[in-house]
Amino acid sequence: MAAVVMADDGIAFDGAMAESGPLGGAETAFVALAEALARRGHRVEARSNCRAALAHKGVAWAPLGQPIPARCDLYIGNRGHRVIGLAAGARRRLFWLHNPAGYLRKPRNLWRLAWYRPTLIVTGQYHARTVPRCVPRRGCAIIPYGVLDLFRSGEERPPPPPRAVFTSNPLRGLDWLLDQWERCIAPAVPSAELHIYAGPAVYGDAGSARAEAMERILARAATLAHRGVRRHAPLGREALASALRGMRVMLYRGDPGETFCLSLAEAQALGVPAVVTRLGAVGERVVDGVTGRVAADAAEFAEAAIVALRDDALWSRWHRASLAGQRGLSWDDVAARFEALIG
């Protein structure tokens, strides 16, 4: 059994919140890894900006301001510069990245990385290419996110009605998607619906300028009800899995800031085909022409979306291929890869 300490200095969250409501991909991943390591028999302490100490699913959660064990076998600092150097006596130190790594050039990151020399953890090839060569580190390991078991248990099903779904950050291409929907997709498939499960609460942005920008885009979506656009509040993971089972296709342009896209991984694992572009890492989540389409431009995107909504035979092929090949890693698999880095 190893002593593991994990720390995050972002929004307020803990393991119980991950069960009861929606969280972003990075927070979902943090909770899932902590719980998977605990299931593997390790002693796991997690620090975040949670409100109070909590023992949940084998993980000891506490606010970041509380004392952190000075010694442990594995320390995982999560994305923020303030947590790079905690647990000073850690035997192995990792720094888990979730966003494009250009921000590591900032002096507040560089001096800490130079002093502590953690191993950087990235989620894929696109993500790895964003790490500046000048950044000091012990090494860089690619470990993809896992997919929660409730998304990996999808079964083959008949083609659903023409319902598309968007479950990502509204600032990452929803305005663009609404353009494609209004101009091209909805006129070609008048019975189609676009279901949007999104909002600032997922990212802890209530009251911020980012939240206002999200709400402006979501307000536009609400005006397109006559075109089949349906706005919903964000869902927790269990409710989201249930909703996805009734969807025909996930539509997402992608974004240069998208380094993995857990939303796409979850949808594909459940057998939901996807239409994306080549922006960011989203092309790594879809097998072009097999589990969906990785479009070269807006016209190709709209055309692929229309075909996915109309063609039952094509949908069934993409659906079966997604179930067969896109289940992804379990979080136990991911925990084993982190565990192997202890040495």
Task: Check whether residue 207 and residue 304 sit in a common domain.
Answer: yes
Task: Check whether residue 130 and residue 185 sit in a common domain.
Answer: no
Cα-Cα-Cα-Cα torsion 22, 150, 251, 12, nearest 10 degrees, comes to: 20
Task: Check whether residue 113 and residue 174 sit in a common domain.
Answer: no
Task: Check whether residue 288 and residue 267 sit in a common domain.
Answer: yes
pLDDT of residue 207 exceeding 80, the answer is no
Percentage of the chain with pLDDT > 90?
92
Task: List, for residues 193-203, the tens digit of each pLDDT value.
Answer: 999 999 887 87
Task: Check whether residue 21 and residue 141 sit in a common domain.
Answer: yes
pLDDT of residue 204 exceeding 80, the answer is no
pLDDT of residue 41: 98
**CATH number, position 306:** 3.40.50.2000
| Total number of domains constituting the chain | 2
> What's the pTM value of the predicted model, to 2 decimals?
0.94
Average pLDDT over residues 105-127: 98
In 41-159, beta strands by DSSP E:
43-48, 54-56, 59-63, 74-78, 92-96, 119-122, 139-142
- Average pLDDT of the chain to the nearest whole number: 96
Average pLDDT over residues 117-121: 98
Task: Check whether residue 166 and residue 255 sit in a common domain.
Answer: yes
pLDDT of residue 185 exceeding 90, the answer is yes
Task: Check whether residue 249 and residue 141 sit in a common domain.
Answer: no
Phi, psi of 179 (to 5 degrees): -60, -50
Task: Check whether residue 88 and residue 29 sit in a common domain.
Answer: yes
pLDDT of residue 275 exceeding 90, the answer is yes
Give the range of the structural domain holding residue 257, as residue numbers without chain letter.
149-325
Q: How far apart (Å, rounded) are the C-alpha atoms in residues 286 and 124?
A: 13
Task: List, for residues 225-236, the tens digit of each pLDDT value.
Answer: 999 999 999 999
Task: Check whether residue 224 and residue 183 sit in a common domain.
Answer: yes
pLDDT of residue 210: 85
Task: Check whether residue 75 and residue 174 sit in a common domain.
Answer: no
Q: What is the full DSSP assignment across 224-276?
A: TGGGTEEEE----HHHHHHHHTT-SEEE--B-TT-SS-HHHHHHHHTT--EEE
Task: Check whether residue 170 and residue 130 sit in a common domain.
Answer: no
pLDDT of residue 206 exceeding 80, the answer is no
Task: Check whether residue 70 and residue 185 sit in a common domain.
Answer: no
pLDDT of residue 312: 99
Q: How far apart (Å, rounded) are the C-alpha atoms in residues 34 and 39?
A: 9
pLDDT of residue 211: 87
Average pLDDT over residues 142-148: 98
